Amino acid sequence: MTSVVLIGPAPEQGIIDQLDDPETARSLASAGEVRVSRHPGGSDGFLAELAEADYLFLTGRMTPEMMRAARRLRLVAVHGTGYHSYLDAELAHQHGIAVANVPAYGDAAIAEHALALALALAKGIVPLDAAVKRGEWSMPQTVQLAGGVAGVVGLGGIGLQMVRLLEALGMEVLVWTRSADPARLAGTRAAYASLEEVFDRAGLVSLHLALGPATEGIIDASLLARARGGLILVNTARGGLIAPGALEPHLATGRIRAGLDVFPHEPPGPDEAGLVGAGDAVVLSPHVAFNTPQAGLALTRGAAANIAAYAAGEPTHLVTPPGR
């Protein structure tokens, strides 16, 4: 029986276009017959397609119902890094389904976006732009980052890229990560510090952690209470890293300003009114930090390569043990 590689549910046109990339096409074809789903997740049409698939190139949320329908499925190749946002990996393992993600595809793109949010807040770009367009001409002071202290929370590829960008601006960089390996900071001037020290000293803190049980809500009210007045907090990682309700009071007073590309719910709902309604205390973008042509192609190639490697008996980037 020919193996089936299913792309779905209902991938966006950008992903469909990337399937014509020669490297991606070769990877997928090496694993089996490639089928692109036109059905939304959870629909009868998608469940029927999933029942015939050996490999799933996952482009949306995978529910428990989908896992039950996937009687042949061997691997879910998540089209992203943060697999917790796509599926319950432990439940997949219980169903005998392996899960692989794509690390490091957008390190430069995401770090650049984080820096852009930080600079927009430090320099007041959004309100100043609006004022000039209204015909106003005031010249308030802005914030200089050079010579200041920055904190980078999380030292994967994105965090390391952010360290380099901040150092290039002339900032002293403190780093907190769950696994403080001195070798990771080789070639930089950054130093490891506790989370408490990061928030005590930094005028800018940028979050670059994966979201999981150990990190959900890790930026809590007690940490934010320690922060210096005027702190710029940037989050391009996952909204769930910030404890519910912890940030909003500080935005309301202007004590903290935030650049957010991610939210607890996306798009933000009524519960996020304190975030999206915080006026000039926030600069917001709709989870687009990763979304450059270069990063998008690298992501698609990575997911396809994970499928090819699993089919060849040499699994890569598994986040659960191999399935059946």
Residue 167 three-state SS:
helix
Identity of the residue numbered 60: G
**Confidence class for position 212, pLDDT limits 50, 70, 90:** confident
User: Can 324 be counted among the known catalytic residues?
Assistant: no
User: Can 49 be counted among the known catalytic residues?
Assistant: no
Which of 218, 226, 224, 287 shows the shortest CA–CA distance to 252? Answer: 224
Q: Give all domains of the chain, ordered by start, each with its CATH number.
A: 4-105+293-311 (3.40.50.720), 107-284 (3.40.50.720)
User: Can 238 be counted among the known catalytic residues?
Assistant: yes
The whole-model pTM stands at 0.88
Interhelix angle 107-123/157-168, nearest 10 degrees: 40
- Residue 35 CA to residue 266 CA, distance in Å, equals 28
pLDDT digit string (tens) for 150-174? Answer: 999 999 999 999 999 999 999 999 9
Per DSSP, what are the bridge partners of residue 260? 235, 284
What integer best gives the mean pLDDT of the chain? Answer: 96
Identity of the residue numbered 184: R
Cis bond before residue 267 (omega within 30° of 0): yes
206 CB-side CA count, 13 A = 30
**Confidence class for position 324, pLDDT limits 50, 70, 90:** very low
pLDDT digit string (tens) for 88-136? Answer: 999 999 999 999 999 999 999 999 999 999 999 999 999 999 999 999 9
Identity of the residue numbered 210: A
Token pair 């992903």 is found at 15
Is the distance from CB of 241 to CB of 258 less than 8 angstroms? no
User: What is the separation of C-alpha 279 from the centre of its chain, rounded to a whole number of angstroms?
Assistant: 24
The catalytic residue among 38, 39, 287, 301 is 287
The catalytic residue among 74, 238, 250, 257 is 238
Q: What is the pLDDT of residue 273?
A: 95
pLDDT digit string (tens) for 218-275? Answer: 999 999 999 999 999 999 999 999 999 999 999 999 999 999 999 999 999 999 999 9
Q: What average pLDDT does this structure show over 39-57?
A: 97
Token pair 């950054």 is found at 190
The catalytic residue among 23, 65, 196, 266 is 266
Spell out the residues 6+ positions from residue 218 whose beta carbon is closer than 8 angstroms to its own: 195, 209, 241, 243
Interhelix angle 107-123/293-311, nearest 10 degrees: 150
Order of strands, sheet of 256-260, starting from the edge strand that comes earlier in the sequence: 191-192, 172-176, 149-153, 204-207, 231-235, 256-260, 282-284
Identity of the residue numbered 315: P
Residue 33 three-state SS:
strand
Is the distance from CB of 261 to CB of 117 less than 8 angstroms? yes
Residue 305 three-state SS:
helix
69: enclosing H helix or E strand: helix 64-69
Identity of the residue numbered 236: T
